[in-house]
Amino acid sequence: MAMKNTHYAAEAALFKLLAHPARLAILEALGQQRACVCHLEALLGLRQAYISQQLAVLRESGLITDQREGWNIFYRLARPDLLAVVGAARTMLGGPTPALGRPASCPCPLCASERQQPIALADAKGAR
């Protein structure tokens, strides 16, 4: 009896989307927090145009969503449980979990506001 390939089409399509190192890195970064293209560029060390292409593929597939805030578009995971699939693959292969950290020179509004918060807190303590 021949197996019908249609039973596995959705899973195969998902794995095809995940079969790209830059997309995996983007998904893991978005698993930490929402991010704009300039943040991903600073974090991953990839060109803006390349990141935008990969974000378009991920958005069209429904794996991520986007939201415009002023001049920026922020991306986030539509399905956070997707990270479990990526983690399971890493465990099977015995690979380490990458430490993405925070980019030192990120110009995005989220990083800029985080850099300003400690200064504002220190100013408030000094005013007492």
**Is 103 or 81 the better-scoring residue by pLDDT?**
81
pLDDT at 25: 95
pLDDT at 2: 59
Q: Per the domain annotation, does 67 fall within a domain?
A: yes
Which of 24-28, 59-63, 115-119, 121-125 is predicted least confidently? 121-125
Is the pLDDT at 120 greater than 50? The verdict is no
pLDDT at 102: 77
| Number of structural domains found in the chain | 1
CATH of the domain at 33: 1.10.10.10
Q: What string of DSSP letters covers the chain?
A: -PPPGGGGHHHHHHHHHH--HHHHHHHHHHHHS-B-HHHHHHHH---HHHHHHHHHHHHHTTSEEEEEETTEEEEEES-TTHHHHHHHHHHHHTPPPP-----TT--SHHHHHHHHHHHHHHHHHHT-
Q: Per the domain annotation, does 94 fall within a domain?
A: yes
The residue range of the domain holding 75 is 9-126
Q: Per the domain annotation, does 2 fall within a domain?
A: no
Q: Per the domain annotation, does 110 fall within a domain?
A: yes
